C-alpha cells in the first residue's frame, strides 16, 4: 500500500494538482519535483535564496516521512540557467546533502512551471 507524503504547508497540492508530493512505498520514498516556490506561490528573485528555499521544502518533506537527507539515494535537479547558477546551487546543496552522497543528475531546461523558478529538485530516498 502506498502512502502519500505531504507537508501541511502544501496540503492542497494533491487535490489542486492531482499528484503526490511524496509517495512512500515502504522501502523507497519518491519525492516529486520541488521548487523554491512557497505555499503562497511567491518565489525569491535571488538564486541562492531560491535554492535554499527549495532544499528547505525538500527537507520538510523528508522529516514528514521520518527521513533525513542521509536517506537520499538519487537526486535529479532541473535547472534554468544551469551553468550560470551551478556554483550557487552546489554551495546550497552542500549545506543540505552530505556524505555518503547520493547519485545526482543535473539537467538544463528552458523553463519550469512557476514563472521565475530556477531549479526543481526530485529525490528518491531509501529507508535504512
Q: Per the structure block, which three cell numbers stand in for 81?
A: 540557467
Cα–Cα distance between 41 and 64 in angstroms, integer?
Answer: 21
Q: What is the CATH number of the domain that holds 45?
A: 3.30.1330.40
Closest CA to 56 of 107, 19, 115, 9: 9
Beta strand pairing status for 119-126 and 28-34? antiparallel
Structural domain boundaries enclosing 101? 3-126
Cα–Cα distance between 6 and 71 in angstroms, integer?
Answer: 17
**Number of domain units in the chain:** 1
pTM listed for this prediction? 0.93
- Taking only the tens place, the pLDDT of each residue in 6-20 is 999 888 888 888 889
- Taking only the tens place, the pLDDT of each residue in 22-72 is 999 999 999 999 999 998 989 999 999 999 999 999 999 999 999 999 999
Amino acid at each position: 500500500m502506498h502512502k502519500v507524503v505531504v507537508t501541511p504547508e502544501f496540503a492542497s497540492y494533491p487535490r489542486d494538482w492531482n499528484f503526490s508530493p511524496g509517495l512512500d512505498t515502504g522501502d523507497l520514498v519518491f519525492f516529486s519535483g520541488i521548487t523554491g516556490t512557497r505555499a503562497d506561490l511567491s518565489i525569491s528573485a535571488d538564486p541562492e535564496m531560491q535554492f535554499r528555499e527549495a532544499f528547505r521544502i525538500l527537507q520538510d518533506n523528508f522529516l514528514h516521512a521520518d527521513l533525513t537527507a542521509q536517506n537520499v539515494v538519487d537526486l535529479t535537479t532541473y535547472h534554468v540557467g544551469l551553468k550560470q547558477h551551478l556554483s550557487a546551487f552546489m554551495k546550497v546543496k552542500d549545506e543540505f546533502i552530505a556524505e555518503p552522497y547520493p547519485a545526482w543528475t543535473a539537467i538544463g531546461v528552458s523553463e519550469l512551471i512557476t514563472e521565475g523558478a530556477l531549479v526543481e529538485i526530485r529525490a528518491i530516498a531509501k529507508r535504512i
